[in-house]
Structure 1
Amino acid sequence: MTENVETLLRYQKKWAEDKSEVAIIEKSRRTGVSWSEAGISTLEASSKSGMNAWYIGYNKDMAYEFILYCAWWAKLYNLAAGEIEETEEVFKDGDESKSILSFVIRFDSGWRITALSSRPANLRGKQGRVIIDEAAFHDQLGELLKAAMALLMWGGKVRIISTHNGVDNEFNELIKEVREGKKPYSLHRVTLDDALEEGLYQRICLKLGKEWTPEAEALWRQNLIDSYGEAAEEELFCVPSRSGGTYLPIGLIEARVNASTPVIRISRDEEFGRLPDEARAFDIRSWCEEELQHHVRAISDHPQVFFGADFARSSDLTVIWPLIKMQDFRLKTPFVLEIRNMPFRQQEQILFYFLDKLKGFAGGAMDARGNGQYLAEVAAQRYGFSRVIQTMLSEKWYLENMPPLKAALEDGTIYDMPADRDIQSDLRAFKVVRGVARIPDQRTSDKDGKKRHGDAGIALVMANHAARICSGFDDNIISGMKRETSRYLDRM
């Protein structure tokens, strides 16, 4: 099937090539997802080894438009198909049977595509591919999905396509569950800017016979945004309406704290950075042995310890957040380490002191933006590039990693966080910006009036990311990495 998708844009190809039983896409309007889905359904229904397709829109116009798309694809690929039939399908609704207007194309393969003009109450007894279009606008989406999932038992597939229709909508709740790892479904996301980057407006110009220029595309984009007005964020950029505010509620944070979990803080003044290397190294080694050593010793024998680190040199904080994987697979915070105004070499010294003493160091994720790239790189060189994830924070990274963090806090997987006002402030700093939970540009101040920028929050989400990614490490893998390193050094 996928050999015939050369007319599709990249995001449409990714959708076409998705083999998952259940796939969901949150999208901007008019990005051609329903059109490309019609092509997939047409190719599948025309194959002897294919299946029926059941398209479910929420009105007659949607159903007819989809079936016209299918007819266009059938003509493009010269597939043997009959004329469009307007007919009625009888579905059982509770104790009653109801007739639903539908449009059908039949193929010589024996399969057909049926586009329904409204949502049937029950799809049980049917087989094939179910396409639920503009799912956020269907009444009782949950009941419809329950019926659709029954088709999976016989090798069917479910495809859920929609723009957003409010933050409290069942479609948005479904997407949140997928991102939090509660539903094992495939998830795609296409905003207007994603589609433009991959050639949407160039394809529009080609179809209309217009000349494409960057200036024309920018003007077209702005006119489209202006036409949607206040609804543009939801309609074009996958941001459910009313989706602002703090991402982690204070009640959720307080439910996972422990007053006995310490926050270890160290800072130095500007003069410290001007001292000779030996003096700085001696000072920090002494501090580590006096203030850090007993905390590290308490966790050094645990079989799996992870960490996340957010880096800063002067204006903000470097925060190192360890997580211990316990016997019940939950993640316990033993302490949080905050470092302020510390030279690069001494930050490296503190990090290495901590990690060198962990017999069960399983993996970490480190902020590798800007100056943080140095510390992340030397840590990866020392402990293995597979064990230390050098992370470039981006909107996509937040989108993929914030929902699992929230889910871990909600179900108690992460616990014993410090009961500390500044730590709490950092966790509360995550805001929903254009539909994605992240740290905004504004800084906050700690109890001493010094700047913070959600540093502990970023360290925690990185630690959880490392625990999810690096849990497969064992002594054999680590020994193998050490052997490869030795071989490389022998060749030099």
Structure 2
Amino acid sequence: MSGQFTEAEWAEHRSKSFAALPAVVENGTLPDVFLEYQKELLSSTATYALTVTDKSRRIGATWAVAADAVLTSASDATASGMDTLYLGYNLDMAREFIDTCGMWAKAFDSVASEVGEFFFTEQGEDGAERNIQAFRIRFASGYEIVALSSKPRSLRGRQGYVILDEFAFHDDAEGLLKAAMALLIWGGKVLVISTHNGADNPFNQLIEEIRAGKRPGNVVRCTFDDALEQGLYQRICLKTGREWSPEAEAKWRSEIRAFYGDDAAEELDCIPAQGTGVYLTRAQIEACMTRETRVLRLSCPADFAMRPDEERASYVEGWLEQEVKPLLDALNRDLKHYFGQDFGRLVDLSVFVPLQELPDLTLKAPFIIEQRNVPFREQEQVLKYVVDRLPRFIAGKLDATGNGLYLAERAVQAYGSCVEAVMLSESWYLTHMPRMKTRFEDRTILLPADAETSDDLRKIKTIRGIPKVPRDERSATQNGGKRHGDAAVAIVLAVAAANSEPVEFAYFPVIPRSPIGGGSAYDPDDDDEEAAPRESLRGLAQGVF
């Protein structure tokens, strides 16, 4: 079901559906405590170590899960009892969950020895201990339900049933999931509950991994209309004393959808939107990747910087001749070429991105060079080797922040005004990131089909209105190193170079006089109109000579 029904169509649909069902109250008995989608959710948590529920707003999923938490923690070890660890993204969620668990504990007549608040001692990243307010219910079984801080380190040293509520809205969702997965080793289980918060959010990625069979687990999906089909509004009427009818339900449904407006697809229909803090979606990036080109990776040994100059130069020269030269030789000599480079020395990568402008104005990277643990002088060697061989080289831009200033300065000295040393700043990103994004939206940029390059581009986030790679946004590489969105920065620098104005040179040609006249070379100040044309000739020189 989805949100395409009109109010009248929904009323007719529900009238027919209701006619085929038994009465809500029959022989003086109440309907089942849980609706079908709530039963499905609890059945999944009983069966799978990892359950993810992909749901609409306010359909009672957490309410049902609180019952599951009480039944789990009130049971002893022989009945698979364990602690329940609930993590919402704020204090109000934690308090509400504990209150609901308390209600279920009374309903199930479970023996709870203590219900209330306590202070959870948490060690911060700086090693200092902090007292964090938390909530807890203790049971006679020896187990407890604890509503904890939303920080991943809250799970350290613990074991049990982990519930991550509104997972897509946690500050460090990926870290939280990683910490929760560790509890599965000793027989715990994990439930991830959330409404969507964008297609590239870790929540949606987790769902895609499970559905693709890349990660074991089960997904339980329930849209707003699914919940209505299974009796949500009837249950609301039962609780509030309203009289249910298909027409009343249709009217209520229309009102709820009107409240959400354009957000209804994501908030009610479980359709992730294409926009959160993530700047470029995976679909946009992959649509602009081709297997015709590749990423070349130069990684030097740990002691490389201490080797003799001649050995270092020979090592890099050999790599360039073997890996890069064939690709440079194959470049179209008629196309304009640009480049961008992000600098890294010890922790991060140096990434060099050349771009060629195709006849339809698409920018294509014929290759990308990544350098890890390459000393300053050898990075300069790589830069000059490639730029000297780029046909119709127009412009380049290099990251000049921090240690990158050395290489950027040497490039400016070598190539003059065709190259710019860029001091990356928020204002620079605000100017140039949207231009790069337009390239991806219009599919007028082509990059190598490479997972790590894609990951780097997806690290760009909109932070307080500025698209950039967050300072602490690092990830591990396939070979055990670290990346900081390095390819993304190099790509935006290369696109900025392609958008720069070409350098224009004016000159006067040297035109010899006719041998008959016996004169000398053309003098622009000569008043003789027969000597040469009065107007000067202008030429447009693009590149380095």
TM-score, normalising length: structure 2: 0.44
Larger Rg: 2
TM-score, normalising length: structure 1: 0.49
